[in-house]
């Protein structure tokens, strides 16, 4: 089914997935980005199930029996995390990650639904972390040296996120109101 196999789930290129659709097969394509990111632009046949509230058992129960469940995000990293959640729940044989995500889908010229632009979550996290470091350094210099601890705390958080692939700042930003915006004809479950 896939061009390459991951350790526990399959992957597929966007063009190949779209050929499956053109052949008349109905697919279950789930976008695991935040609702705000989803509504800024998504593959035409995708529906939104944000990664932070993903329930593999519910999705498998609602999907047609035996049909693969394709997961897509911006570039492929979050859809692979979502696939890992399906694998951990015992449904690894049902999920397929779309290589390159929505960026690759769009680059291939495949059908997209476009809406209001929202910065991708990874860029929002980098901006927030950078602002926290600048704020700590500035306040440490101007007000009280204890504020340097904010910069150190943020640096430690980035190291923790890099080592563990767990990012509390990312989870927090994903829940911000601008990332929860629902567009017309909302099909996002959050």
List the one residue out of 135, 129, 158 whose CA is nearest residue 148: 135
Active site residue 48: no
Cα–Cα distance for residue pair 2/49, rounded to 1 Å? 23
Contact criterion met (CB below 8 Å) for 48 and 115: no
Spatial separation of the C-alpha atoms in residues 1 and 147, rounded to whole Å: 54
The one-character DSSP state at 165 is: S
Q: Which of helix, strand or coil describes residue 69? A: strand
The β-bridge partners of 81 are: none
Sheet of 46-48, strands arranged across: 10-12, 95-98, 69-72, 28-31, 46-48
Contact 190, 50 (CB under 8 A): yes
Find the catalytic residue in 48, 73, 83, 188: 73
How many other CB atoms are there within 10 angstroms of residue 160's CB atom?
14
Residues with active-site annotation: 73
């Amino acid at each position: 089914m896939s061009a390459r196999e991951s350790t526990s789930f399959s992957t597929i290129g966007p063009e190949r997935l779209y050929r499956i659709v053109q052949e008349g097969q109905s697919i279950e394509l789930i976008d695991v980005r935040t609702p705000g990111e989803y509504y800024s632009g998504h593959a035409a046949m995708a529906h939104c199930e944000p990664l932070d509230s993903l329930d593999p058992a519910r999705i498998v129960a609602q999907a047609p029996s035996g049909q693969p469940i394709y997961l897509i995000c911006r570039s492929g990293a979050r859809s692979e995390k979502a696939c890992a959640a399906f694998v951990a729940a015992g449904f690894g044989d049902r999920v397929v990650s779309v290589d390159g995500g929505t960026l690759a889908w769009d680059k291939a010229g495949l059908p997209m639904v476009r809406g209001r632009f929202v910065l991708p979550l990874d860029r929002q996290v980098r901006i927030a972390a950078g602002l926290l470091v600048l704020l700590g350094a500035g306040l440490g210099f101007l007000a009280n040296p204890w504020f340097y601890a904010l910069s150190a705390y943020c640096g430690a958080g980035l190291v923790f996120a890099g080592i563990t692939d767990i990012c509390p700042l990312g989870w927090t930003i994903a829940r911000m109101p601008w990332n929860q915006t629902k567009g017309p004809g909302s099909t996002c479950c959050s």
